[in-house]
Amino acid sequence: MRSLPGTAGVALPAAFPDIRVTRDKVKAALERNKYKQIMDIRLAHIPKRLPFAKAGIIDRLRQNDWEGPNRPKTEALLELETDLAFLTGSLDPKEPRGKSSGSAKVRRLERIWDELVLTADRLKLIVAHRDGRLSHNLTLFLQSDLPGGYMAAIGASTHWEIAGVVISFNAEAQRLVHDVLGIPLEEATRPAFLEAVPSSSAIHRAYRTYHTRCARLTALADAVLGWRDALEYYVDLFSARDLAEFRTVRAIRVSSLDRAAIEELVEGLQKATSALRHLLVREYPGGLSSYPWLPSDHPLLSDLLKMELATA
Q: What pLDDT sits at residue 96?
A: 45
Per-run averaged pLDDT (10 residues), the chain, 312 residues: 64 61 89 94 96 97 93 95 86 50 85 95 93 88 91 90 92 96 94 94 95 93 96 97 94 95 97 95 88 65 62 52
**117 lies in some domain:** yes
Note the pTM of the prediction, 2 decimals: 0.87
Contacts of 304 (CB under 8 A, 6+ apart): 148, 151, 152, 155, 156
Q: What pLDDT sits at residue 294?
A: 62
**5 lies in some domain:** no
**Spatial distance between the Cα atoms of 203 and 205, rounded to a whole number of angstroms:** 5
**12 lies in some domain:** no
- CB neighbours of residue 83 within 10 Å: 19
The stretches of 195-248 forming alpha helices (DSSP H) are: 200-239
- Count up the domains in the chain and report the number: 1
**4 lies in some domain:** no
**211 lies in some domain:** yes
**275 lies in some domain:** yes
Contacts of 32 (CB under 8 A, 6+ apart): none
Domain containing 113 equals 23-310
**230 lies in some domain:** yes
* Contact in structure between 91 and 111 (CB atoms under 8 Å): yes
Residue of 46, 193, 45 whose CA lies nearest to 117: 193
**Spatial distance between the Cα atoms of 220 and 273, rounded to a whole number of angstroms:** 8
Q: What pLDDT sits at residue 15?
A: 59
**97 lies in some domain:** yes
Q: What pLDDT sits at residue 97?
A: 47
